[in-house]
Every structure is written in structure tokens, then in C-alpha cells.
């Protein structure tokens, strides 16, 4: 008595493809079931009849058009580039804002602590004030250009810098 070997499990892919006459390069689709109102069903049947297309093909085109319209045909890579640029500008504005607060704090301290107790300045005092103002403007310009602020021994200015 001769015993034949029997294959257990599905046949090899090549055999199944040959048996079903399926092109191995063809993409497979997922089946979806949906319920349409009678009105939509009639419109779909009419469109299929007029165009000669399959109902499923019309539904695929309609869904594709709907998704593209909802997404706005947006190129997400382009949006990411734009968002990165906006983020950089916001960071730059934040740096400039911190410089503004430091400048305001320095001017307020000067006005409240020094200028109120001093007598009216003479020519030498005004010249010294002009030099200090020029030094202040130079420091602010350097900070706005992106350079690090000069170290300070003032704990309040240091505290303000740490906030940003």
C-alpha cells in the first residue's frame, strides 16, 4: 500500500495566484459596507448608468474628492516648514521682549533711585549722562543683534534675565 504525502495548510502563493488568475502586481482593496439612503442609492445608480463606471469606482472618487477638500489639498511638509519659520520668529520676538524688559527695568531704577535725589546736572553731568546713554544703547543693540548680554553684578537684572 502506498501512502501519498498530503499538504497541510494553504497552497503556495504561486499556486493560488495561478489558480485564481490574479496578477501579483495588482493592489488589493479592502471591502467596506455602507448604507445609503434611497435617494443617494438612486443617484448613485443613475451616475453609474450615465458614466458607465462601477458604483464602487464612483464612491471611491467621491470619497477621494471629499477627503481632498477636507484636507484642503494641503501639503503637510510645506506647512511644517512654515510652522518652523513662525516658531523661529516667535522665539526671536521673545528674546527681544526680554531685552525690552531689561531696558525698562534699568530706566526705572535710574529714575526712581538716582534721578530723584540728584540736583540739576551741569555740563559735565550732562556729558556723563550722554556717555552712559550711548553705552546703554550700544548694549541694547548688541543684545538685539543676538549677542549674549554682558555679565552683570546687579542681582535684579540677573533675576530678570533668568525669567526669559
DSSP letters, 133-144, are HHHHHHHHHHHH
Cβ atoms 55, 44 nearer than 8 A: yes
How many residues in total does the chain contain?
Answer: 164
pTM of the complete model: 0.37
Asked whether the predicted pLDDT for residue 45 surpasses 90, the reply is yes
For residues 27-48, give the mean pLDDT: 88
Residue with cell 477627503: 67
- 3-state SS track over 45-101: HHHHHHHCCCHHHHHHHHHHHHHHHHHCCCCHHHHHHHHHHHHHHHHHHHHHHHHHH
Q: What is the mean pLDDT of the chain?
A: 79
Q: Give the pLDDT of residue 84.
A: 92
Q: Give the pLDDT of residue 139.
A: 84
From CA 95, how far away is CA 90, in angstroms rounded? Answer: 9
pLDDT digits (tens, 9 = 90+) for 95-128: 888 888 888 888 888 887 777 777 787 888 888 8
Amino acid at each position: 500500500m502506498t501512502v501519498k504525502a498530503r499538504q497541510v495548510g494553504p497552497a503556495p502563493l504561486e499556486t493560488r495566484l495561478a489558480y485564481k488568475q490574479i496578477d501579483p502586481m495588482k493592489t488589493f482593496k479592502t471591502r467596506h459596507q455602507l448604507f445609503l439612503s434611497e435617494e443617494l442609492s438612486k443617484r448613485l445608480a443613475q451616475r453609474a448608468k450615465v458614466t458607465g463606471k462601477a458604483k464602487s469606482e464612483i464612491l471611491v472618487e467621491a470619497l477621494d474628492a471629499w477627503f481632498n477638500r477636507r484636507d484642503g489639498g494641503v501639503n503637510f511638509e510645506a506647512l511644517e516648514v512654515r510652522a518652523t519659520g513662525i516658531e523661529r520668529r516667535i522665539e526671536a520676538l521673545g528674546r527681544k521682549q526680554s531685552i525690552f524688559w531689561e531696558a525698562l527695568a534699568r530706566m526705572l531704577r535710574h529714575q526712581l533711585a538716582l534721578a530723584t535725589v540728584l540736583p540739576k546736572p551741569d555740563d559735565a553731568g550732562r556729558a556723563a549722562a550722554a556717555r552712559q546713554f550711548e553705552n546703554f544703547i550700544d548694549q541694547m543693540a548688541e543684545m538685539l543683534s543676538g549677542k549674549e548680554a554682558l555679565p552683570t553684578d546687579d542681582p535684579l537684572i540677573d533675576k530678570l534675565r533668568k525669567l526669559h
